[in-house]
Amino acid sequence: MKKVLIPTKLDKIAGEILTKHGFQVVQDSETPLADLISANSDADALIVRSEKITPEIIDALPKLRTIVRAGAGYNTIDIKYARHRKVDVMNTPGANSNGVAEEVVAMALAAYRHLIPADIDTRAGGWEKKKFMGRELTGKTIGIVGLGNIGQLVAKRLSGFEMKVLAYDPVIPRAKADDLGVKLLSIEELFTQADIITLHIPENDETRGMINARLLKLVKPGCLLINCARSGIVNEEDIRAAKAEKKLLFCTDVYPADAPGPKSVTDIADIMLPHLGANTFEANFNAAKRAGEQTVAYFENGVTSYVVNKELPDGLDERYQQLAWRIAAVARGYIGRGTPIRKIRCSFYGELSKFSNWFISPICAALSENFEFEQDVEEAKNMLQEKGIELLQREADDSKKYGNSITIDLEGEAKSCSVRGTITENRILISRVNDFNDLYIRPLGNQLFVEYQDRPGVLAQITGVIANAGLNIEDIHAPRDSEGTNSLAILMVNNPVSDQVIESIKALVRPTAVFFVKMPEEA
């Protein structure tokens, strides 16, 4: 009999499902986690919510085969160590989405109508109607940053308030946004036009500190900013400054740690809640039901859907996943990070063709900050379907003798880009960008790409701008395309390239494309 340990407050439906299928279930949210683990060291599965699952906890459960996160985010679980111990980690994406979306609506109403301070004042015997003069949602403009499951539900829930709905999502096509009744804008335009801004993006290297002074200086006076996503995506000091300058309203339920104690945003948050987005009976039930069903399917039928740390199959070098990410990142940069994507076409040559599904998640992670590299292929395909993006996996023509290589074509609304890469002499390489062949550049570090009509002196102008910005060039390539009419300058520099530098290059060189991509070092 398999034992499942549930050391968290979770709807009993999970235990009921498991018990019905013959599992032994221990559910206890009161006993300290370390004591509970020690008393149940023979557990085969662990179902958690926000509990921190460390290597020490995993080591204390020698029979453990799976950890199920009853919810979407799994940043509290050491998934790499779990993989090292051959423990599969699953999540239940989408189970909590509606709860979070409705919390956004509740926060907006509470902030606009001063519900919390008015309640406190009235209970104390006050009657301050003038003091608590509020505003209405009807007729206002809301900006949604990230049109994933939650962002789309926010748009639907607010439709009844007759609000104008704007959104920033660098992946979703305009046709899909039109179906949702949402107008897609750049993030700068959204921050300029919205009365209320709600954030629905994960925290990662690309989004950390994304909501900062550059964007906050654009907002209307009295703008309401709601963060029910992750605390690290906002710069607290910049919010503090915007609150003083623009009378910004700020509501949050996310913090660096889900734990009691002082919060650094206490002085700037108009409403702050203890991460209540998913804390509804319905969300708890949905997540518990999904967790129970997935655990049963895992043990009884070997179903590994939604495993976020899958072990690679024999014969697949994990660096080819890194290659797929880097190829997609270059193609994404070329067509523009703020440009919606209509179609993705992929070709996997040589031995890679039999592993094609293993590259979809890395591609999605390169295209959207709303997606994590480790997420399951089913989640990746669901994301593409949800956003209305067509995915085509072409049959590779191995007569071209490209070896083990990957080609990814992205089709945007105004531009398309095709990039190929491979691994040669144990190095990840980009071999082609559109008609620029035989590149063989290493996609590492801070890389600036500038495509321009070939003519004398342009490369010197580009390097001059780089030098004036205090950047050091570590490597440079400047090939011409197959027709000999355009050149592509690819520069690796020592620090990230600012938007100001890119604008200077645009003004001076009039390029057909210019973009910066920050690449990680090879694993």
Residue 6 has a pLDDT of 97
Tokens 């197959």, located at residue = 482
SS (H, E, C) 351-414: HHHHHHHHHHHHHHHHHCCCCCCCCCHHHHHHHHHHCCCEEEEECCCHHHCCCCEEEEEEEECC
- pLDDT of 523 above 70: no
- Digit-coded pLDDT (tens) for 442-496: 999 999 999 999 999 999 999 999 999 999 999 999 999 888 889 999 999 999 9
What is the Cα 38 distance to its own chain's centre?
A: 35
- Digit-coded pLDDT (tens) for 165-186: 999 998 888 888 888 899 999 9
- Digit-coded pLDDT (tens) for 301-320: 999 888 988 888 888 998 99
Q: For the chain, which domains are there?
A: 3-94+281-301 (3.40.50.720), 97-272 (3.40.50.720), 312-443 (3.30.1330.90), 445-523 (3.30.70.260)
Residue 425 has a pLDDT of 87
Q: Do residues 72 and 229 lie in contact, with contact meaning Cβ atoms separated by under 8 Å?
A: no
Mean pLDDT of 202-211: 86
- Digit-coded pLDDT (tens) for 345-382: 999 999 999 999 999 999 999 998 778 777 788 888 88
- Report the amino acid identity of residue 266: T
Angle (CA) 42-46-47 rounded to 5° is 150
- pLDDT of 271 above 90: yes
- DSSP code string of 412-459: ESS-EEEEEEEEETTEEEEEEETTB-S--B---EEEEEEEEE--TTHH
Residue 111 has a pLDDT of 97
- DSSP code string of 279-331: -SHHHHHHHHHHHHHHHHHHHHH---TTBSSPPPPTT--THHHHHHHHHHHHH
Residue 23 has a pLDDT of 97
- Report the amino acid identity of residue 70: A
Count Cα neighbours of 285 within 13 Å in the Cβ-side half-sphere.
Answer: 4
Q: Evaluate the CA torsion angle 308, 314, 318, 321 in order and state its sign.
A: negative
- Digit-coded pLDDT (tens) for 107-139: 999 999 999 999 999 999 999 999 999 999 999
pTM for the structure as a whole: 0.79
Residue 160: exposure state from Cβ atoms within 10 A (0-12, 13-18, ≥19)? exposed
Banded model confidence at residue 399, pLDDT cuts 50, 70, 90: confident
- pLDDT of 66 above 70: yes
Mean pLDDT of 407-414: 91
- pLDDT of 67 above 60: yes
- pLDDT of 510 above 60: yes
